[in-house]
Amino acid sequence: MSEAIRVYVLHENQEWYKPLQEALAAEGIPNTEWNLAAGQFILNQAPPLGVFYSKMSASSYSRGHLHAKHFMAATLEWLSAHGRRVINGKRALELEVSKVAQHISLQAHGLRTPNTVVVHGKKAAIAASKKFGSAGFIIKPNQGGKGQGVQHFSDSEAFESFLSVVTMDDLTVDGLLLIQAYIPPKSQRIIRMEFIEGKFYYAVQVDTGGGFELCPADACEIDPTRPDRALPSFQILEDFWIPEIEKCEAFLQANQIEIAGMEFLESEEGDRYFYDVNTNTNYNTKAEQDCPSSYEGLQQVARFLKKEWEIVQGVNAVV
C-alpha cells in the first residue's frame, strides 16, 4: 500500500494550531500536527511524504518551550535533506527568532528600519541608551513575539534605574537586546501587511493605544471592548497600497518566506519604518468579518497548502 500524503503542521502552540486545523478540514485536506514542544524523529529514516508547514513562533519560550526552536531547526534540517516540500523553512525560522537578522535583511531590500543599537550586557545597554533624542527609545528582545518585552523609556536615566532592579536574562532569552529609536506612530496606528504565497493579501490597521502587545490572533486579544477605544483593535484597510509592497515581496522571496505578516509604522512626517516580520502569522477573525470585502486569511492559507499538497501527490503518483 502506498504511503498516504498529508499536510503536516509543525508548531508548539495548540491554541494557534486549532483554527488552521479547522480550515484544512474544511478544504478536505488530510493533515497531521507535529507539536514540537517535545518529541522525536529517527535520524536515519526518511520523513513521511507530504507538505510541511512550519509555524514556530518567536514567543515559544514564553509558553515554557525554550528549546522548541532548536528542535524545529533540527527537524527542518532533516526534512530539507530528504527533499520534502517545506513552507517557511530554515531561513524563515532564522528570521522569526532574530530581529537582528530581520533588520539586516529588510535594509538590504531597501526597506527603512528605525535607528537601532544591538547590545549584550548592561553596560553596553546603558551606553547605547544615551544615543537617542527627546522622543526616547524602546527596548525589545532579539527573540521576541507578541510584543512581549517591548518597553518605552523617555531617557537614559530612567532606563538605568530600571536596569538596577532587573537582570539582562529578565529582558532577553538569547542575551541580545535592541535599543531602538522611538518613533511616535501617526494617529497611534501601525500597519500589518499579510502575505500568502509570497504575495500581498491585505493590510490591517492596528490600534497601539493599549501598548506594544499587538498579536492579531483571536487567542491573543486582551480586551477588545476597552471603553477608550475609538476604533477597533484591528481594522482591514481596503484598497491599500504603498510603493514598498514590491520590495516586501522581494524580501520574502529572497528569504524563502511564503506566509508572513510584516509590520511598519508611519511617522507624523509620513516616513515609513519597517520593524517586524512574523513568519508564524495569525489572523483576526473580527477584522475579517467586519470588512465589507471578503477576506479569509486562514482559508486562503489552507487553499495554498491544498495546492501544494496536490502537487506533491501528482509528483509521487508519477514516480
pLDDT tens by residue, 247-292? 999 999 999 999 999 999 999 999 999 999 999 988 999 999 999 8
Q: What is the pLDDT of the chain when averaged over all its residues?
A: 91
- Percent residues over pLDDT 90 in the chain: 81
What's 110's DSSP letter? T
From CA 278, how far away is CA 261, in angstroms rounded?
5
Alpha-helical (H) ranges within the chain are 14-26, 68-81, 90-96, 99-108, 122-129, 156-163, 168-171, 245-254, 285-290, 297-318
**pLDDT of res. 225:** 46
136: left (phi over 0), alpha (psi -120 to 50) or beta: left
C-alpha Rg value of the chain to the nearest Å: 20
What's 62's DSSP letter? G
Sorted by where each begins, the domain ranges of the chain are 6-96+300-318, 116-181, 184-296
What's 257's DSSP letter? -
Enumerate the β-bridge partners of residue 32. 8
Enumerate the β-bridge partners of residue 177. 119, 141
pLDDT band at 133 (very low <50, low <70, confident <90, very high): confident
From CA 243, how far away is CA 255, in angstroms rounded?
20
Residue pLDDT, tens place only, 206-251? 988 755 445 555 555 544 444 454 556 899 999 999 999 999 999 9
Joined together, the cell numbers standing for residue 212 give: 506594544
- The CATH number given to 6-96+300-318 is 3.40.50.20
In three-state secondary structure terms, 70 is helix
Those residues whose C-beta lies under 8 Å from the C-beta of residue 83, and which sit 6 or more positions away, are: none
From CA 168, how far away is CA 176, in angstroms rounded?
9
Those residues whose C-beta lies under 8 Å from the C-beta of residue 137, and which sit 6 or more positions away, are: 129, 152, 153, 159, 179, 180, 181, 182
What's 188's DSSP letter? G
**pLDDT of res. 231:** 57
| Amino acid of residue 281 | T
From CA 55, how far away is CA 65, in angstroms rounded?
14
From CA 169, how far away is CA 37, in angstroms rounded?
22
What's 279's DSSP letter? S
Residue 42 has pLDDT above 60, yes or no: yes
From CA 206, how far away is CA 232, in angstroms rounded?
8
In words, the CATH class of domain 116-181 is: alpha beta
**N-terminal to C-terminal alpha carbon distance within the chain:** 14
Enumerate the β-bridge partners of residue 9. 33, 53
- The CATH number given to 184-296 is 3.30.470
Residue pLDDT, tens place only, 166-204? 999 999 999 999 999 999 999 999 999 999 999 999 999
**pLDDT of res. 281:** 87
Work out the average pLDDT over 291-304: 94
Distances 239 to 157, 200, 204 between C-alpha atoms, Å? 44, 12, 11
**pLDDT of res. 216:** 54
